[in-house]
Each structure stands twice: as C-alpha cells, then as structure tokens.
Amino acid sequence: MYFFSAFGTFGNPNGFRQSFFLGGNPETVKDIRTFDLKTDAIKLFPDTRIYALRKDYSGGCNLLSYALYTFAKEQNSHRGGTFIGSGLIFAGKTASEALTIEVLNEFHEGLEKKNVSEETITIAHSDQFAIHKPKDFDKIAFNLRDVDDLNFSSTSGNYLVVYSETDAAQLQVLFRKAVELLHTYDTIYFTQSHEIGQFVRDKGLFKIVDKHGFEQEISKLHEERARLVQQSIDSLQAEKQQLEHDRKRVVEDMNERISRNESRHRENEKSIRDSKEQVRTVTTEYNKYAGKIDELISALRTEGKIETVKKRHQDQQKAFAETITKNKDIPFLDSLSSSPFKSRGGPVSHLHPMGAWATDEPRDRSYRKKESSVDRFKIATMVLLLLLIGSYIIYFFCLDDASKISIPGLTD
C-alpha cells in the first residue's frame, strides 16, 4: 500500500494541516506524525526546498515516507518559514529511489500549480487541496520491495540534516544510503540551500553534515553495526558454550537416571521371576498340605490314634505356615521411583484345618463339635470300662460266697 499526503501552513485559524490522497485508510493514517517542520531548528526560505526521509509506525503498519517541502507564504501573513509540502508514504514496502523521486516531484509540482499563486497558498485547509495524480503513480505497485532490518516502532528523537546537491541523480544515492541511518535518526533532511544549511548550523538543534560527513555517518553506522554484530556473535557463542555445558550436564544426569532405572528394571525383573517362583511354591505347598490332611483323615479312620495323628498334624501345619509366610510377600513395583511395598496383610495366619490341634487359638464351631464327639466317646468308654470292672468284682465275690451256701439234701 502507498499513498500521498499533502500538507502546508495556512495561518489563522488553521495553522499547519495535512490530508491524505490517492490511498491510505483511516486506521493506517490515524497515528502518522505530522509533516510539520520544527521551524526553530530548520527553516525554508523563498526559492528553497527540503527533501526528507523518515520512518513511522501507525495502525500496525511500518511506514517509510519521502517528503518534499517548498517555500510558500500564508494568506494575510508575512511570517517566515511557511511552506507547502508533499509526502509519498509506503506501508511495509518501498519502491526504487528513481521512481519515488520522479512521482514525488510530479505530484508536488501539480500541488504548487493548483494551490499556490505568487508564492502564496490560495486555500485555507489541506482538505481543499486540488491534486494531480502522477502519470507513473500506478507503476509503483509493480516495483515494490521489502525494507530490510529496520525497527520502525522505535524512535530516537534524533534528526539529521544533509547539506548536499539534491538533483535527481544525487538524491537517489542519498535516499538509498540514508535508509540505513534511520536506525539512528527518526528523520533525515536533505537540502542544497546554503541559507537553510546556515540556519540549521546557527540554531544547533539538529545535527548537520555535508556530503563527506554523510558518508562518515554511514561508516560510523557500519562500524557500530559491526560492533553490535560481533557483540551478538560473542553472546551467541557464549550461549552455545553454555548450551554445550548444560547439554553435557543434563545428558549425564539423564543417563545416570536411565542407568539407575535400568538397574532397578533388572532388579524388578529378578523380583518378578522370584515372585512367580514364590507363587509356584505357595501353590505346591497348599496342594501338598491338602494331601497331608487327606492322609491324616485316612490314618484316623484306619488306626484311630488320635494323639499320634494330632502330633503329626501340628508338625506339618507348622512347616506349612512357615513356608507360606516366607513366600507370600510380593513387592509392589508401581514405578521406578517408588519403593517396593509389602503385600497387604500380615504374615499368614496359622492354618488349622483340624482346628484344636493346631494352636491354643479359639476353635471354630465345626472343630468344637468334633472335639466334643471325641470327649463323649472317651467318657462312654470309661463308663463301660468301669461297669465291666464292677461286673467282674461282683462276679468273684458272688462265686466265693456260693461255695459257702448249703444245698438241701447234700448237707450233713
């Protein structure tokens, strides 16, 4: 996008005013700085002109402006330093210096012709400007190029005036080189008027250089940029060295963690293998113990030796409980960073399928029934034994008395 600004000093009551033509939208132009001149620092005189190059930032756009000022008096005023001017504004891009100067000069000539008479501005406000569209204005669209490596949003408050020839050929070179200097200066003015140059020098508010000084400004800029480039390179190299240091430290730490995790992983694998072996051992022990219970039941049925079977059962149960307690704890391996946990629950409780034989713990109901049955059997047996013994005693006493009994018919 590119468009024109036309501006001037109009005296009372309007003073300086600027308007935009042949493009530009309200959002882009709303924050554009005025093209007014600081007349206590730089001033136009009759038959003099000033070219200017400046950067702006407005409406989210980077703006590069080429401007031309010529002397023009205000109506009903003899104030000095008054002017009429034109600005060709580029948003984001720019065109060749030759085409830019040609179009800018043509637009300004038309502006003067239509709005200035006898060196006096004939209108009261910039909105009333009659303008002329330059013949090559539309060519600009096909000759746009990017503006590289320039910070448009920063301002320095510095201004430079270059005292040099300003014919089209010289101005092209000046404009081309001066874009770089917008890193240092917000606006750069160019004039070949000795009167303007002397005024600027006398006031001392703006820095002024001749063509040689302009080249020195370019050289100083290049030197400063070279210094900043080297400083940036040094900073990046230092960052790279620190980066390498940090990389080694971080990678070493990561590898150490990986090594510990691998070690823990191997330990976990071994723990898992051992745990699976424990599962097989526990399963086998349960099956073996169940078989031994069957053997005890069979022995009771065939031999009836309660105390012997009881002793065998207690010994087997103790060995079984010890084996189960030893093998039932499986560590939890939730994560490599967590400590292994014991399985929930305490050691395996004493298993007592035959209840009262195992421990002194309270017996369950089924085993109490079995013990009661055995006790009743013992009591009944004892009672029968006592009855049998009593019968034998009675029998022998009776037999002894019978030998003393007389039988009728056999006694003397």
SS (H, E, C) 259-320: HHHHHHHHHHHHHHHHHHHHHHHHHHHHHHHHHHHHHHHHHHHHCCCHHHHHHHHHHHHHHH
Low-confidence stretches of the chain (pLDDT beneath 50): 339-350, 352-367, 370, 395, 398-412
- Supply the pTM of this predicted model: 0.62
CB 32 within 8 A of CB 89: yes
Tell me the per-residue pLDDT of 122-158, one tens digit each, with 9 for 90 and over: 999 999 999 999 999 999 999 899 887 788 877 788 9
Main-chain phi, psi angles of 90, to 5 degrees: -110, 135
Please report the pLDDT score of residue 187 as a whole number: 95
Please report the pLDDT score of residue 388 as a whole number: 58
Main-chain phi, psi angles of 153, to 5 degrees: -85, -15
Please report the pLDDT score of residue 390 as a whole number: 58
CB 92 within 8 A of CB 102: no
Query: Which sequence spans correspond to the domains of the chain?
Result: 2-205, 276-386
Residue 157: exposure state from Cβ atoms within 10 A (0-12, 13-18, ≥19)? exposed
Please report the pLDDT score of residue 115 as a whole number: 96
Please report the pLDDT score of residue 85 as a whole number: 95
Token pair of 182 as six digits: 């917008």
CB 14 within 8 A of CB 77: no
Please report the pLDDT score of residue 152 as a whole number: 81
Beta bridge partners of 52: 67, 189
- E-assigned strand segments in 92-223: 93-94, 116-117, 120-121, 145-146, 159-163, 187-191, 207-210
**Residue 336, CB half-sphere, CA atoms under 13 Å: how many?**
12
Token pair of 156 as six digits: 């320095």
Please report the pLDDT score of residue 379 as a whole number: 65
Closest alpha carbon to 162 in 128, 222, 218, 207 = 207
Number of Cβ within a 10 Å radius of residue 273: 10
Please report the pLDDT score of residue 372 as a whole number: 54
> How many Å apart are CA 29 and CA 32, to the nearest integer?
5
